[in-house]
Structure 1
């Protein structure tokens, strides 16, 4: 993939831009295999490749420039806006929406935030596109000052962008290097964005995490479901469950013809644990819509939940999909000492995965696969299925 912004030195976010994609994928596979070599993975499956371009379903853009000529992209070293509305890794829906949103910024007189002077209102624009082409648009503001004007002119934006289903204002009053704040004002009647992957529909609320690459996320969940189906667990925990991607796929499976969802022997009893209350609300809505009575979600810390569980409640399977830091020593120690038969570990940082595996020597990696969630960058997802070693009786 080629990028005019990268070639001109205007944006260097995609560090592998211009490198042949086959080489990128081979390098990620080699890196993952090298990091996990000490654990003697039984079987490495072929890596799952992504589309090279237009793969991002979520664009987090800094708004700069002026109210009459806003930029949507990033800031340079001096805090000036660099416009990236034609960014090639953003989805086609993003690229079609950016010009209309720029015109709306001017129409509603939403002054872009100036980092140097700490004046202005509009800091970031966060746009998510669903697999069905619908949009969630979030304006990250310093205060509520522009909200009345945004409400007044919102019908014009919705008329120009009929794909926009959810529009919100997020409030970030502090001057700090974060993308969004804690408070959200939903301006549309529809409050969640349906994200349909495989035969599962997840409802995405504004502050809920969702995998960046819908195509690869669908593959990740489908492979996880295949691996788990072979295990046929009666009970499972999905720790760091987010909006429920793994839990909902675990609880459903394709019927014999492969044309639709059906319970697998009633499905396992699944518990999803996630710190984000917004994500839990999203997951509960999806569970309710799918009528999955043996699935529940709760807000809480994954490690605290596991450490506080009664021995009789320990499941057959634990799924973990932690942030880049990994699951950490406490949860790894609990899994090592537990009677959990299998662990499915999905990691966005193979280095922290390797560190966690070293702390769980009783759990043997039997399958591993790389999923290229982030083409043109060094990042990737790797999923490993762990099986408890059977003690040798002498």
Structure 2
């Protein structure tokens, strides 16, 4: 894939841009195998590849420029806005929506936030697109100053973008690198976006996490479902469950599934998805994953645990709990193979028997790794 922004030196976010795609995947596979070379019995399945472009279902666009001519993209080294609305890794529906959103910013007179001067209102526009073509739009604002004007002109945005099913404003008053604030103001009657993944409809709230690459996420969940079916556990815990992707795909009438996630909003989304799917043998709990397992009773320990932690991994406490628990099987999905290897060292009673690299993030050095771990 070639990118005019990368070639011009204005955006280097995709660090592997211009590298032949087959080489990207082979390098990721080689790096992951090297990190897990201590496990010679680990059988590697063929990597899951992606399309090279048009794959990102999310756009996190920094807003710069002026009220009348906003930029949507990134900031350069001088904190000036760089417009990237034709970014080739975004799904076409997101690219198509960006000019209309820029026009709306000008119409509603929402002043872009000036990082250097610490003034202005609009910091980011966050977009998510479902396979259906429906879109979630979130305006990240410094304050409520522009809310009334957004309300006033919202019908014009909805007329121009009828696929915009969910629109909200997030308030982030602090001047810091954290993108989102605590308060979300819904601007549409509908507050969730339906993300079809395999045969499951996941309901995404405004702050809900979902994988960046829908097609690869489907294969991630399908792989977990296949491994779970082979083990045929009676009980499953999905730790760091987010909106319930793994839990919902592993649930059926023959096993009990419990999803644990610290975000109450994500848990609400997971519960709505379970209800829509008619699943009655699944329960979701808003709790810290490590605290939840440490407080659990030995008699309640499941047969299989799925973990899908953030980049820092599951950490020492949870690894040690898994090591001493009665759990016989773990499916570990990781976005950081380095911390995955560290966690495995703390669980010597588990052997990784199968592994797979899934290229969730083409054009970058990042990837997803999934392992099937069995107790020795």
TM-score class, shorter-chain normalisation, is over 0.9
1:193 corresponds in structure 2 to 193
CA–CA distance in structure 2, aligned partners of residues 11 and 268 of structure 1: 48
CA–CA distance in structure 1, aligned partners of residues 169 and 76 of structure 2: 25
Measure how far apart 1:106 and its partner are.
0.5
CA contact 1:86–1:95 (8 Å) conserved in 2: yes
CA–CA distance in structure 1, aligned partners of residues 121 and 265 of structure 2: 25
1:49 corresponds in structure 2 to 49
Per-residue CA deviations over 1:230-286 (Å, capped at 9, x if unaligned) read: 1110001000000000000000xxxxxxxxxxx4xx231111000111111100100
CA–CA distance in structure 1, aligned partners of residues 177 and 78 of structure 2: 15
Equivalent position SS for 2:124: strand
CA–CA distance in structure 2, aligned partners of residues 102 and 22 of structure 1: 36
1:244 corresponds in structure 2 to 244
**What's the TM-score, normalizing by structure 1?**
0.95
Equivalent position SS for 1:37: coil
CA–CA distance in structure 1, aligned partners of residues 147 and 41 of structure 2: 54
1:64 corresponds in structure 2 to 64
CA–CA distance in structure 2, aligned partners of residues 131 and 208 of structure 1: 17
2:284 corresponds in structure 1 to 297
Per-residue CA deviations over 1:320-346 (Å, capped at 9, x if unaligned) read: 000000000000001011110100000
2:122 corresponds in structure 1 to 122
Equivalent position SS for 1:39: coil
- Whether 1:152 and 2:161 are equivalent positions in the alignment is no
CA–CA distance in structure 2, aligned partners of residues 108 and 384 of structure 1: 49
Q: Superposed, which structure 2 residues align to 1:16-27 within 5 Å? A: 16-27=16-27
CA–CA distance in structure 1, aligned partners of residues 108 and 195 of structure 2: 29
Equivalent position SS for 1:202: strand
Equivalent position SS for 2:101: helix
The list of structure 1 runs, each at least 4 consecutive aligned residues, that deviate by more than 6 angstroms after superposition, is none
Equivalent position SS for 1:296: strand
Q: Give the alignment's Cα RMSD to 1 decimal.
A: 0.6
1:344 corresponds in structure 2 to 331
**What's the TM-score, normalizing by structure 2?**
0.99
**Match 1:366 to one of 349, 353, 366:** 353
CA–CA distance in structure 2, aligned partners of residues 93 and 283 of structure 1: 25
2:267 corresponds in structure 1 to 280
CA–CA distance in structure 2, aligned partners of residues 118 and 307 of structure 1: 44
* Structure 2 gaps, min length 5: none
CA–CA distance in structure 2, aligned partners of residues 297 and 137 of structure 1: 27
Measure how far apart 1:41 and its partner are.
4.0
CA–CA distance in structure 2, aligned partners of residues 162 and 100 of structure 1: 11
Per-residue CA deviations over 1:24-51 (Å, capped at 9, x if unaligned) read: 0000000011001102243100000001
CA–CA distance in structure 2, aligned partners of residues 327 and 267 of structure 1: 28
CA–CA distance in structure 1, aligned partners of residues 321 and 116 of structure 2: 48
CA–CA distance in structure 2, aligned partners of residues 349 and 41 of structure 1: 21
Equivalent position SS for 1:72: strand
1:85 corresponds in structure 2 to 85
1:4 corresponds in structure 2 to 4
CA–CA distance in structure 2, aligned partners of residues 84 and 4 of structure 1: 10
CA contact 1:41–1:368 (8 Å) conserved in 2: no
CA contact 1:15–1:376 (8 Å) conserved in 2: yes
Q: Superposed, which structure 2 residues align to 1:313-332 within 5 Å? A: 313-332=300-319
CA contact 1:111–1:122 (8 Å) conserved in 2: yes
CA–CA distance in structure 2, aligned partners of residues 189 and 59 of structure 1: 23
CA contact 1:40–1:365 (8 Å) conserved in 2: no
2:204 corresponds in structure 1 to 204
CA–CA distance in structure 2, aligned partners of residues 344 and 2 of structure 1: 36
Number of matched residues? 376
Measure how far apart 1:131 and its partner are.
1.3
1:259 corresponds in structure 2 to none
* Structure 1 gaps, min length 5: 252-262, 390-394
